[in-house]
Amino acid sequence: MTEVSRIELVELIEEQASKLSPQGRVLWEELEPIAELIAPEEATPETLPPPTPEQVETIGRTFELTDSELLIIEQLMELVVGLRSSDLAQNKGFVGEPSRNRAVIVAASLKDRRESKRVMKPMTTEQAVARLREPQESREMVQEELEEVEEHRPATAGAQEATEHRWWEFWR
């Protein structure tokens, strides 16, 4: 498995951010410091300070975004958390690659789940990077494809539910 370099992760973050509308970009600039706050490996709901009213308001505004922009914000949060965790690990004398690799794979899996695609397990970092660089499908296109698949699926086929990681759950 190829490791995701710091430069490659920064480029992916920039690529994802460039897909945002001007409104989404402003919101992302407000959210990025929150991602850096929750990034340390030792950060848990118990160790994080309660969110400020401004942070709650900023996080709440994410729900005003379109589904596609919300997905990009979620991916950006994962990628920035991975970058920050990687930097912190390297500053402590540890390797940072596992945090970067995990962030890219989680971000790509979020995209698969949101687009109602089967999540590839296990996904390699190369597959994850390629997946993140693919154009985003519209929700309507995906829904039509799902309906076609459902029409041809045997009644006994079970659905597998994936647990989505939500970055805002830190402050529950």
Domain ranges of the chain: 6-44+51-147
What's the pLDDT tens digit per position in 69-78? 999 999 999 9
Chain segment 13-24, per-residue pLDDT in tens:
999 999 999 999
Pair 72, 19: CB distance under 8 Å:
yes
User: Is residue 156 classed as helix, strand or coil in its secondary structure?
Assistant: coil
- pLDDT at position 40 over 70: no
| End-to-end Cα spacing for the chain | 35
Residue 68 has pLDDT above 60, yes or no: yes
* Percent of the chain residues past pLDDT 90, beyond the cut: 49
What is the DSSP annotation of 98-114? HHHHHHHHHHHHHHHHH
Q: What average pLDDT does range 130-139 have in this prediction?
A: 78
pLDDT of amino acid 160: 30
4-8, 28-32, 49-53, 128-132: segment of lowest average pLDDT: 49-53
| Distance from C-alpha of 70 to C-alpha of 75, rounded to nearest angstrom | 9
Task: Read off the tokens for 21.
Answer: 């509308």
Q: How many CA atoms lie within 13 A of 56 on its CB side?
A: 7
Which amino acid is residue 40, in one-letter code? P
- Distance between CA 81 and CA 38 in Å, rounded? 7
Q: Looking at residue 118, what is its pLDDT?
A: 67
d(Cα 126, Cα 2) in Å, to the nearest integer? 7
How many whole angstroms separate alpha carbon 4 and alpha carbon 116? 26
Position 150: which residue type?
E
Listed as own residue / partner, the contacts of 89-93 with beta carbons closer than 8 Å and 24 or more positions apart are: 89/41
pTM value is 0.74
pLDDT, position 143: 47
